[in-house]
């Protein structure tokens, strides 16, 4: 019997390239009435923890990323609560949805074990790029 282990390298984190994005329970998708992925759009899923200094450092860069790629649909998954997300969205002037998700759910649904992490899904909702990112330049390199 094999014992499941976490990926040892950040490159092993996240769904495999070519994998379909998973369906999420309705309670996880509730965010201003917007689905967690936008139909017929390139979706950027960002994963952060409120207890990760690198994740906090990424937050000011997300608006730049969204402005540089206006045709992409950005979604942020964070371990924060609704008040945290409302404050961040107002402060950074984000117009994309922010979803609350426990780290255990990030791992269960998206195989995320390193953060801050990004997955890019094409219009067919297939993962085409993924990786740890720390700023807008890192994001540009993945794109």
Distance CA 100, CA 122 (A): 23
Residue ranges covered by each domain of the chain: 38-142
pLDDT at 33: 62
Low-confidence ranges of the chain (pLDDT < 50): 1-8
pLDDT at 31: 61
Secondary element (H or E) of residue 68? helix 53-68
pLDDT at 82: 87
Distance CA 80, CA 68 (A): 26
pLDDT at 32: 56
pLDDT at 39: 85
pLDDT at 26: 74
| Burial bucket for residue 4 (CB in 10 Å: 0-12, 13-18, 19+) | exposed
CATH superfamily of 38-142: Glutaredoxin (3.40.30.10)
Question: Are 34 and 98 in contact, with CB atoms under 8 Å apart?
Answer: no
pLDDT in tens, 68-90: 999 999 999 999 988 999 999 99
């Amino acid at each position: 019997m094999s014992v499941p282990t976490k990926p040892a390298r950040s490159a092993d984190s996240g769904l495999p390239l070519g994998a379909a994005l998973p369906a999420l329970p309705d309670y996880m998708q509730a965010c201003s009435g917007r689905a967690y992925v936008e139909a017929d759009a390139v979706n950027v899923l960002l994963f952060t923890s409120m207890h990760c200094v690198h994740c906090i450092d990424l937050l000011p860069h997300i608006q730049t990323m969204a402005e540089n790629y206006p045709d992409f649909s950005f979604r942020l998954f964070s371990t924060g609560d609704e008040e945290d997300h409302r404050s961040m969205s107002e402060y950074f002037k984000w117009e994309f949805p922010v979803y609350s998700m426990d780290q255990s759910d990030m791992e269960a649904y998206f195989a995320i074990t390193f953060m801050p992490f990004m997955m890019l899904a094409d219009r067919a909702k297939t993962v085409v790029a993924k990786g740890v990112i720390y700023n807008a330049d890192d994001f540009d390199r993945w794109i």
